[in-house]
Amino acid sequence: MRLSVLDLVPVRTDQTTADALAATVRLAQAADRLGYTRYWLAEHHNMPAVAATSPPVLIAYLAAQTTHLRLGSGGVMLPNHAPLAVAEQFALLEAAAPGRIDLGIGRAPGSDPVTSIMLRGGRDDSDVENFPQYLDDVAALMSASGVRIPIRNQDYVLKATPGAVGEPRLWLLGSSMYSAHLAAAKGLPYVFAHHFSGQGTAEALAVYRSEFRPSEVAAEPVTFMTVNAVVAPTHAEAQALLLPNLQMMARLRTGQPLGALDLVEDAAAVAMHPQAEAIIAGGRAKAVVGSPAQAADQIRAIAEDFDVDEVMVSPVASAYRGTDPATAPAREVTIELLAKELF
């Protein structure tokens, strides 16, 4: 089985952004050393607990400090950006780290409405209806031939970079049936955000596989699973390390004020209201959490249930008071223990 990592670059209450980035470098280097397949960075904006706002910047940062991992976006939220800007960024990354770059693209804004408008230069129209065309534009612009734009009586050739000899691997991300239908129609590799949604995953993958049309990008359906994970020597410790993330997600889903990710001791002292507790229970049920043997069994079950040969884990463990702020030892332990059990 192949294992990969999704990293939102979480920021704990004891960390600065610089600390969180230092911890991410350590985590990526551990994944590189342990034999993980890919390491993806997310795009979220204006969230106190998430430092991953710019996947291409982080990919370049980690590419210089790792050797084997495929590095990519999980994902770039295309409505926030001009297709040419995305194509230029990832074509350049591919030139700098050939054969190691994935471009995962999503349709959601990855932020609140006000932030989304500011990302688009003050426009309140996300242009979502043009998303399929923009997806095609990104792919064409990254290719060696580029795009020919008719202007008056001649064609204007537009390319993301000169002299391209390779292209990033393009993936479509989603948490709805829309993305499953679109990925199948365009013959793209597809990843359902099971770690975030957890609802409709089997249905979306079934639609994708049944409707898939072969393309130059993929001759047959290509997909894998994403799942939140916390692995520790004991089940009880894993549950304690997971709780701060679950509480943060409950606050997000119930419209409560957000802050940085709590430390384990602080989360244990928090009393949540019944609606939040129900969300926490749901998140716990769909996460991979437990001792190494328990977690490995859960990963195998996920791979079998959804018929995938790769699982991407998002290590969401927090930390105990007194932890070095520039580290995230429980996140590193999660991927180390999984690797020992599954590789």
pLDDT at 125 exceeding the cut of 70? no
What are the structure tokens assigned to 177, written together?
């049936």
* Cβ atoms of 97 and 63 closer than 8 Å: yes
Q: Across residues 20-25, what is the average pLDDT?
A: 98
Determine the pLDDT at residue 196. Answer: 75
Of 226, 229, 237, 186, give the one whose Cα is nearest residue 208: 186
What are the structure tokens assigned to 189, written together?
């590799």
Position with higher pLDDT, 56 vs 129: 56
Q: Would you tell me how many other CB atoms lie within 10 Å of the CB of residue 308?
A: 19
Determine the pLDDT at residue 124. Answer: 65
HSE of 36 in the Cβ direction (CA atoms, 13 Å)?
Answer: 29
pLDDT digits (tens, 9 = 90+) for 250-264: 999 999 999 999 999
pLDDT band at 198 (very low <50, low <70, confident <90, very high): low
Determine the pLDDT at residue 110. Answer: 66
Lowest mean pLDDT among 72-76, 161-165, 178-182, 192-196: 192-196
DSSP string, 237-306: HHHHHHHHHHHHHHHHHTT----SBPPHHHHHTPPPPHHHHHHHHHHHHHSEEESHHHHHHHHHHHHHHH
Q: Would you tell me how many other CB atoms lie within 10 Å of the CB of residue 44?
A: 18
Percent of the chain with pLDDT over 70: 98
HSE of 132 in the Cβ direction (CA atoms, 13 Å)?
Answer: 11
Determine the pLDDT at residue 313. Answer: 97
pLDDT digits (tens, 9 = 90+) for 225-257: 899 999 999 999 999 999 999 999 999 999 999
pLDDT band at 54 (very low <50, low <70, confident <90, very high): very high
Q: Would you tell me how many other CB atoms lie within 10 Å of the CB of residue 155?
A: 11
Of 65, 19, 104, 23, give the one whose Cα is nearest residue 315: 23
